[in-house]
Amino acid sequence: MTNGTATYDFSGASVLVTGGTSGIGLATARAFADAGAQVTVTGTRASINDYDEDLRHFSYRQLRVTDTDEIKEVAASLSALDVLVNNAGNVKFAGEDEAIDVFEEMVRVHLLSGHHMTQACLDKLSESKLPGGASVVGMASLTSFMANTFVPGYGAGKAGMVQLARTQASLYSDRGIRFNCVAAGNIATRMTAPVADMPEFSADMLRRTSMKRWGRPKEIADAVLFLSSDRATFITGETLLVDGGYLYNQ
């Protein structure tokens, strides 16, 4: 604890953050790097130089998470891995004429991609010497627990992540890997900006949120680091809700 701030030591650890070029993913990558980890981030653009954000402190891999061959290539390119953060995602609203296509894409992006990435990285994670063991952290959501008619596929994928972490925690307990999720509440990012600009949504969100504000990406990153650290060695198969008191505040 330094000046009231919890600190973690991930010196020498190898961390992969999918979708680590912006928002929660970038905040998580920066937090791990600040704690001494060697961090690899993925993004959809051809080069790290194609981003406005300063990503020079990270290794970079181009990845479309819906492409299983690219997932295998990224996993194979890593010499070691201690922490995998399945964060990559986007939001598409289900339109009347394209609901089925959008639903399937969202499930592939938010559920199947994390499953495939974990499977591709399983052997390297099993070899981790990280105190407390290796960790896989999935980025879940409030929609893992509550209905949202605007994003049914997104919600289904996020709900699946929670159940998948429970199953993987049991299935691979003998490999020294812990599986958890962080369920992010309403966090101010580029992805959430369109809904933040809807007065009716923002007013209702702030009314229901006990802390009366939007969350910050670093507040989610801090939860990811905790679950990946040796301070959470008896936590697996769990989902940590970080939402400022939204979900259970009626």
> Which residues are catalytically annotated?
154
Judge contact between 167 and 118, C-beta under 8 A: no
SS3 per residue for 38-89: EEEEEECCCCHHHCCCCCCCCEEEECCCCCHHHHHHHHHHCCCCCEEEECCC
Distant-in-sequence, close-in-space partners of 149: CB < 8 Å, separation ≥ 6: none
Which residue type occupies 108?
R
Q: Are 108 and 161 in contact (CB under 8 A)?
A: no
Please name which of 65, 58, 6 lies closest in space to residue 37, comparing C-alpha atoms: 58
Q: Which residues of 209-227 are buried (b: 16+ CB within 10 A; e: fewer)?
A: beeeebbebebbbbbbbbb
